[in-house]
Protein backbone atom coordinates (compact mmCIF):
# COMPACT_ATOMS: atom_id res chain seq x y z
CA UNK A 1 0.00 0.00 0.00
CA UNK A 2 2.74 2.44 1.01
CA UNK A 3 4.70 1.56 -2.12
CA UNK A 4 1.65 2.20 -4.29
CA UNK A 5 1.12 5.63 -2.72
CA UNK A 6 4.79 6.46 -3.16
CA UNK A 7 4.66 5.44 -6.83
CA UNK A 8 1.50 7.47 -7.37
CA UNK A 9 3.16 10.50 -5.77
CA UNK A 10 6.33 10.19 -7.84
CA UNK A 11 4.36 9.96 -11.07
CA UNK A 12 2.70 13.33 -10.48
CA UNK A 13 3.89 16.17 -12.73
CA UNK A 14 6.10 18.73 -11.05
CA UNK A 15 3.65 21.59 -10.45
CA UNK A 16 0.89 19.33 -9.13
CA UNK A 17 3.32 17.48 -6.88
CA UNK A 18 4.85 20.71 -5.56
CA UNK A 19 1.52 22.39 -4.84
CA UNK A 20 0.01 19.30 -3.22
CA UNK A 21 3.10 18.81 -1.05
CA UNK A 22 3.16 22.44 0.07
CA UNK A 23 -0.58 22.38 0.85
CA UNK A 24 -0.38 19.17 2.90
CA UNK A 25 2.72 20.30 4.82
CA UNK A 26 1.19 23.70 5.58
CA UNK A 27 -2.17 22.31 6.69
CA UNK A 28 -0.63 19.52 8.78
CA UNK A 29 1.81 22.00 10.30
CA UNK A 30 -1.07 24.24 11.36
CA UNK A 31 -3.03 21.26 12.77
CA UNK A 32 -0.01 20.32 14.90
CA UNK A 33 0.51 23.95 16.00
CA UNK A 34 3.91 24.02 14.34
CA UNK A 35 2.73 26.83 12.07
CA UNK A 36 0.21 29.49 13.03
CA UNK A 37 -2.58 30.28 10.54
CA UNK A 38 -2.38 33.88 11.77
CA UNK A 39 0.94 34.15 9.94
CA UNK A 40 -0.54 32.81 6.69
CA UNK A 41 -3.89 34.48 6.02
CA UNK A 42 -4.43 37.27 3.50
CA UNK A 43 -4.26 40.64 5.26
CA UNK A 44 -3.86 43.63 2.91
CA UNK A 45 -2.81 45.94 5.74
CA UNK A 46 0.02 43.68 6.86
CA UNK A 47 1.10 43.10 3.26
CA UNK A 48 1.28 46.79 2.37
CA UNK A 49 2.34 48.41 5.63
CA UNK A 50 4.50 45.70 7.18
CA UNK A 51 5.78 44.16 3.93
CA UNK A 52 4.57 40.66 4.78
CA UNK A 53 4.45 39.68 1.13
CA UNK A 54 4.53 35.97 1.86
CA UNK A 55 0.84 36.18 2.75
CA UNK A 56 0.06 36.62 -0.94
CA UNK A 57 1.31 33.03 -1.39
CA UNK A 58 0.64 31.27 1.91
CA UNK A 59 -3.08 31.99 1.88
CA UNK A 60 -3.28 29.61 -1.09
CA UNK A 61 -1.60 26.79 0.83
CA UNK A 62 -3.76 26.43 3.93
CA UNK A 63 -6.92 24.32 3.60
CA UNK A 64 -8.27 24.75 7.13
CA UNK A 65 -8.76 21.82 9.47
CA UNK A 66 -7.75 18.22 8.82
CA UNK A 67 -11.26 16.95 8.28
CA UNK A 68 -13.48 15.52 5.54
CA UNK A 69 -13.57 18.88 3.78
CA UNK A 70 -9.76 18.86 3.68
CA UNK A 71 -9.69 15.39 2.13
CA UNK A 72 -12.35 16.46 -0.35
CA UNK A 73 -10.27 19.43 -1.56
CA UNK A 74 -7.04 17.43 -1.61
CA UNK A 75 -8.75 14.94 -3.89
CA UNK A 76 -9.89 17.66 -6.26
CA UNK A 77 -6.49 19.36 -6.15
CA UNK A 78 -4.62 16.14 -6.92
CA UNK A 79 -7.09 15.02 -9.59
CA UNK A 80 -7.85 18.13 -11.62
CA UNK A 81 -4.50 19.84 -11.23
CA UNK A 82 -2.89 16.62 -12.45
CA UNK A 83 -5.36 16.22 -15.33
CA UNK A 84 -4.72 19.76 -16.54
CA UNK A 85 -0.94 19.51 -16.28
CA UNK A 86 -0.74 16.10 -17.95
CA UNK A 87 -3.24 16.78 -20.75
CA UNK A 88 -4.14 20.35 -21.63
CA UNK A 89 -0.70 21.62 -20.56
CA UNK A 90 1.34 18.58 -21.50
CA UNK A 91 4.83 19.79 -22.42
CA UNK A 92 3.88 23.32 -21.33
CA UNK A 93 4.77 23.45 -17.65
CA UNK A 94 5.53 27.17 -17.73
CA UNK A 95 2.11 27.89 -19.24
CA UNK A 96 0.44 25.85 -16.52
CA UNK A 97 2.30 27.68 -13.77
CA UNK A 98 1.33 30.97 -15.43
CA UNK A 99 -2.32 29.89 -15.36
CA UNK A 100 -2.10 29.32 -11.60
CA UNK A 101 -0.36 32.65 -11.08
CA UNK A 102 -2.99 34.39 -13.17
CA UNK A 103 -5.79 32.74 -11.20
CA UNK A 104 -4.16 33.61 -7.87
CA UNK A 105 -3.74 37.24 -8.98
CA UNK A 106 -7.38 37.50 -10.10
CA UNK A 107 -8.66 36.00 -6.85
CA UNK A 108 -6.48 38.30 -4.75
CA UNK A 109 -7.57 41.32 -6.77
CA UNK A 110 -11.26 40.46 -6.41
CA UNK A 111 -10.98 40.12 -2.64
CA UNK A 112 -8.99 43.35 -2.27
CA UNK A 113 -11.36 45.35 -4.47
CA UNK A 114 -14.45 43.73 -2.95
CA UNK A 115 -13.21 44.73 0.49
CA UNK A 116 -13.52 48.38 -0.53
CA UNK A 117 -17.10 48.16 -1.85
CA UNK A 118 -19.84 49.24 0.60
CA UNK A 119 -22.30 46.51 1.64
CA UNK A 120 -19.93 43.85 0.25
CA UNK A 121 -16.82 44.61 2.26
CA UNK A 122 -18.02 42.61 5.27
CA UNK A 123 -18.48 39.48 3.14
CA UNK A 124 -15.09 39.80 1.45
CA UNK A 125 -13.37 40.52 4.78
CA UNK A 126 -14.27 36.97 5.85
CA UNK A 127 -12.36 35.49 2.89
CA UNK A 128 -8.84 35.25 4.26
CA UNK A 129 -7.75 32.00 2.59
CA UNK A 130 -8.12 31.47 -1.16
CA UNK A 131 -6.82 27.91 -1.46
CA UNK A 132 -10.28 26.42 -2.03
CA UNK A 133 -11.08 29.05 -4.65
CA UNK A 134 -7.90 28.31 -6.60
CA UNK A 135 -8.72 24.60 -6.54
CA UNK A 136 -12.22 25.37 -7.79
CA UNK A 137 -10.73 27.47 -10.57
CA UNK A 138 -8.81 24.44 -11.83
CA UNK A 139 -11.99 22.35 -11.75
CA UNK A 140 -13.77 25.04 -13.77
CA UNK A 141 -11.03 25.29 -16.42
CA UNK A 142 -10.91 21.50 -16.77
CA UNK A 143 -14.69 21.32 -17.16
CA UNK A 144 -14.63 23.94 -19.92
CA UNK A 145 -11.91 22.06 -21.79
CA UNK A 146 -13.62 18.67 -21.38
CA UNK A 147 -17.35 19.52 -21.49
CA UNK A 148 -18.63 16.21 -22.88
CA UNK A 149 -17.11 13.75 -20.42
CA UNK A 150 -19.83 11.91 -18.50
CA UNK A 151 -19.58 12.00 -14.71
CA UNK A 152 -21.53 10.78 -11.72
CA UNK A 153 -22.17 12.59 -8.45
CA UNK A 154 -22.13 10.20 -5.49
CA UNK A 155 -23.84 7.65 -7.71
CA UNK A 156 -27.08 9.67 -7.51
CA UNK A 157 -27.19 11.14 -11.01
CA UNK A 158 -25.02 11.58 -14.07
CA UNK A 159 -24.13 14.73 -15.96
CA UNK A 160 -21.54 16.05 -18.36
CA UNK A 161 -18.38 17.76 -17.12
CA UNK A 162 -19.62 21.13 -18.35
CA UNK A 163 -21.99 21.19 -15.36
CA UNK A 164 -19.45 19.98 -12.78
CA UNK A 165 -18.75 23.43 -11.24
CA UNK A 166 -22.47 24.08 -10.83
CA UNK A 167 -23.05 20.67 -9.26
CA UNK A 168 -20.27 21.31 -6.76
CA UNK A 169 -21.58 24.81 -6.08
CA UNK A 170 -25.02 23.38 -5.34
CA UNK A 171 -23.49 20.76 -3.06
CA UNK A 172 -21.60 23.45 -1.13
CA UNK A 173 -24.81 25.37 -0.59
CA UNK A 174 -26.62 22.22 0.59
CA UNK A 175 -23.98 21.44 3.21
CA UNK A 176 -23.96 25.04 4.44
CA UNK A 177 -20.58 26.08 3.05
CA UNK A 178 -19.94 29.57 1.75
CA UNK A 179 -20.91 29.92 -1.91
CA UNK A 180 -18.52 32.86 -2.27
CA UNK A 181 -15.50 30.57 -2.26
CA UNK A 182 -16.76 28.52 -5.21
CA UNK A 183 -18.09 31.57 -7.08
CA UNK A 184 -14.71 33.29 -6.87
CA UNK A 185 -13.06 30.20 -8.33
CA UNK A 186 -15.58 30.15 -11.17
CA UNK A 187 -14.97 33.84 -11.92
CA UNK A 188 -11.20 33.38 -12.01
CA UNK A 189 -11.53 30.21 -14.10
CA UNK A 190 -13.85 31.86 -16.60
CA UNK A 191 -11.55 34.89 -16.87
CA UNK A 192 -8.64 32.61 -17.75
CA UNK A 193 -10.64 30.44 -20.16
CA UNK A 194 -12.03 33.48 -21.98
CA UNK A 195 -8.67 35.25 -22.33
CA UNK A 196 -6.69 32.10 -23.15
CA UNK A 197 -9.08 30.32 -25.52
CA UNK A 198 -12.22 32.27 -26.44
CA UNK A 199 -10.79 35.75 -27.05
CA UNK A 200 -7.88 34.50 -29.24
CA UNK A 201 -10.37 32.66 -31.49
CA UNK A 202 -12.46 35.82 -31.81
CA UNK A 203 -9.68 38.32 -32.49
CA UNK A 204 -6.61 36.23 -33.35
CA UNK A 205 -4.88 37.99 -30.46
CA UNK A 206 -3.50 36.29 -27.40
CA UNK A 207 -3.45 38.58 -24.33
CA UNK A 208 -2.18 35.89 -21.97
CA UNK A 209 1.38 35.16 -23.01
CA UNK A 210 3.62 33.29 -20.62
CA UNK A 211 6.58 35.53 -19.65
CA UNK A 212 9.93 34.44 -20.99
CA UNK A 213 11.45 34.20 -17.50
CA UNK A 214 8.91 31.51 -16.61
CA UNK A 215 9.63 29.58 -19.78
CA UNK A 216 13.32 29.73 -18.93
CA UNK A 217 12.63 27.92 -15.64
CA UNK A 218 11.38 24.79 -17.37
CA UNK A 219 13.11 22.88 -20.12
CA UNK A 220 9.87 21.85 -21.77
CA UNK A 221 10.07 20.06 -25.07
CA UNK A 222 7.20 19.93 -27.54
CA UNK A 223 5.26 16.68 -27.40
CA UNK A 224 5.29 15.02 -30.81
CA UNK A 225 3.03 12.08 -31.52
CA UNK A 226 4.11 10.09 -34.53
CA UNK A 227 1.27 8.80 -36.64
CA UNK A 228 2.23 6.61 -39.59
CA UNK A 229 0.36 7.12 -42.82
CA UNK A 230 -2.49 4.81 -43.80
CA UNK A 231 -2.89 3.48 -40.28
CA UNK A 232 -6.34 3.43 -38.73
CA UNK A 233 -6.60 3.80 -34.99
CA UNK A 234 -9.34 2.21 -32.95
CA UNK A 235 -11.70 4.39 -30.97
CA UNK A 236 -10.70 5.19 -27.41
CA UNK A 237 -11.92 2.71 -24.80
CA UNK A 238 -15.22 3.54 -23.13
CA UNK A 239 -13.54 4.00 -19.74
CA UNK A 240 -11.24 6.66 -21.12
CA UNK A 241 -14.13 8.69 -22.46
CA UNK A 242 -16.69 8.16 -19.72
CA UNK A 243 -15.34 8.77 -16.25
CA UNK A 244 -17.35 8.16 -13.10
- pLDDT at 244 > cutoff 50: no
The closest alpha carbon to 193, from 137, 114, 237, belongs to 137
Contact indicator for 131, 62 with CB cutoff of 8 Å: yes
Sorted by sequence, the CB contacts under 8 Å of residue 109 that are 6+ apart come out as: none
Worst-scoring range by mean pLDDT, 35-44, 131-140, 169-178? Answer: 169-178
Q: Using one digit for the tens of pLDDT, what is the confidence trace for 59-79?
A: 999 987 766 777 777 888 888
CA pair distance 144, 116, nearest whole angstrom: 31
pLDDT tens sequence across 176-189: 777 888 899 999 99
pLDDT in tens, 127-137: 889 999 999 99
Q: What is the CA radius of gyration of the chain?
A: 19
- Taking CA atoms, 26 is separated from 11, 32, 33, 96, 138, in Å, by 22, 10, 10, 22, 20
Q: What is the mean pLDDT of the chain?
A: 83
* pTM (predicted TM-score): 0.83
Q: pLDDT tens, 141-153?
A: 999 999 999 988 7
Phi, psi for 121 (deg, rounded to 5): -60, -35
Amino acid sequence: MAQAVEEWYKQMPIITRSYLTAAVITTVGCSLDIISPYNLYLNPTLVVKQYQYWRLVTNFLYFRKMDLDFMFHMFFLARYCKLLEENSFRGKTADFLYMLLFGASVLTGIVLIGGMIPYLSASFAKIIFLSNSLTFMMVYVWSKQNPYIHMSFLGLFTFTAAYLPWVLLGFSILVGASAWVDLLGMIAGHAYYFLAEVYPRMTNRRPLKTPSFLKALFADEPVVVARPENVRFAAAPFDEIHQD
